[in-house]
Structure 1
């Protein structure tokens, strides 16, 4: 009887040890599983491959980044928009040697200059011109930047023009275009450029000057076309221009 009690006591003492051993095995298994997960043994092979690949770096872009870096980039940032001083569409411009020299202006009386001083709209500017068809068509003008692209081929928009406003009228005896724009080219270059266009297009060409405002104007007898170009120097060395062209019938 005594022997049975001793055996039971030993069994009771050994049970916590057995339970501890079981718990330790389970904990060790969990640690092993965690190690496998961290080590990538149970991870998606494609994902781990992508994470372990080398990072691709564009050296040119890396040199341009970062604007807050202590050391500046080794080359200037690229500019998506060219400066006004860049000769855009240079191939479409006559070379300097091909430009005709405009005659010296006649100073003093200038009816076209007076009309420009009085006008506040393109319609008012066109309506004040001495060419009858131009003044009559002025009341039919519609305003849209698209009219700048519809100037006559022999009296076009300058290749470097920056259009400010444009209007036009089409139909009947009207083929009127009125455009306000600026260019980075100097005043004398633009006077010669439009004088060359006028002469080569078969127009007459009169050059007038009043209070710093230059005006080229003329007509073409064969189709009754007419044009007027107002040119004035800008403070930045460029030229402000108002161009009126009425295509003949």
Structure 2
């Protein structure tokens, strides 16, 4: 009898304990509805919102095609015309830049032609303040917004690279392009320079035009290197001190 009773306890006691455990576990498990109510509202909203799809990119996915795409997805940069003011620029009141001086040595032209970086161009300028600060240049596109107030970026400029240095000279260097033709950019910066009290000399080195000058009252100096683009626009490198 004792052996029988022991056998019964051996068989049914673990089952009873397991049942209790299952009951306790069932009481502690939250339903899906309860989980939904306890979740972060922001997460719940994000999960339930519809997925937004760009149809232009969706067509490039080629997900339902049997064959692979003919080429990689387009990652090209937009045209320079996609800039401030679109393709329009205010040219009213601009002075006409003089023709380039012929037969005169152009050290700035040589400096630009033989330099690899904006810092290299600045280091080879004849102005002592610009040349002395070239070694302290730090590169960042933000420097393009701190050019001298009287020699700013053109309204349609697309900045490619820029650098600047703090200190006595406040050196600023910027490389940018515009959709405007070369002559229009020469006229624009010639007008800005002359009206701000700078001298302005125009020189030509092959296909590259150079416009530069100085201002005696504050030892200001600038030089621009302009080259016509195949698309009708202009590539420009600008070096100037007395930046903002």
User: TM-score band, normalised by the shorter chain?
Assistant: 0.5 to 0.7
2:150 to 151, 154, 160: 154
Cα-to-partner distance string for 1:124-159 (whole Å, 9 max, x where unaligned): 100111111100110110111110111111000111
Contact 1:107–1:210, Cα closer than 8 Å, also in 2: no
Specify the alignment match of 2:127 in structure 1.
131
Q: CA deviation at 1:160?
A: 0.8
Q: CA deviation at 1:102?
A: 0.4
Q: 1:174 aligned to 2:190? A: no
2:178 to 183, 186, 190: 183
Q: CA deviation at 1:83?
A: 4.9
Q: How far apart in 2 are the matches of 1:87 and 1:188?
A: 19
Specify the alignment match of 2:200 in structure 1.
205
- Point out the structure with max Rg over C-alpha: 1
Specify the alignment match of 2:97 in structure 1.
102
- TM-score, with structure 1 as normaliser: 0.63
Aligned pairs for 1:52-131 (under 5 A) are: 83-85=79-81, 88-89=84-85, 95-108=90-103, 109-131=105-127
Cα-to-partner distance string for 1:172-219 (whole Å, 9 max, x where unaligned): x22100001111100000000000000111101000001111010001
Q: How far apart in 2 are the matches of 1:88 and 1:193?
A: 16
Q: Which structure has more RCO (C-alpha within 8 Å, separation ≥ 6)?
A: 2
Let me know the Cα RMSD of the aligned residues. 2.8
Contact 1:163–1:179, Cα closer than 8 Å, also in 2: yes
Q: How far apart in 1 are the matches of 2:78 and 2:115?
A: 33
Q: 1:214 aligned to 2:209? A: yes
Q: How far apart in 2 are the matches of 1:87 and 1:178?
A: 21
Q: How far apart in 2 are the matches of 1:87 and 1:102?
A: 25
Q: Give structure 2 stretches of 5+ with no counterpart.
A: 1-55, 63-76
Moved beyond 6 Å, runs of 4+: none
Q: Give structure 1 stretches of 5+ with no counterpart.
A: 1-63, 69-80
Q: 1:230 aligned to 2:243? A: no
- TM-score, with structure 2 as normaliser: 0.65
Q: 1:145 aligned to 2:141? A: yes
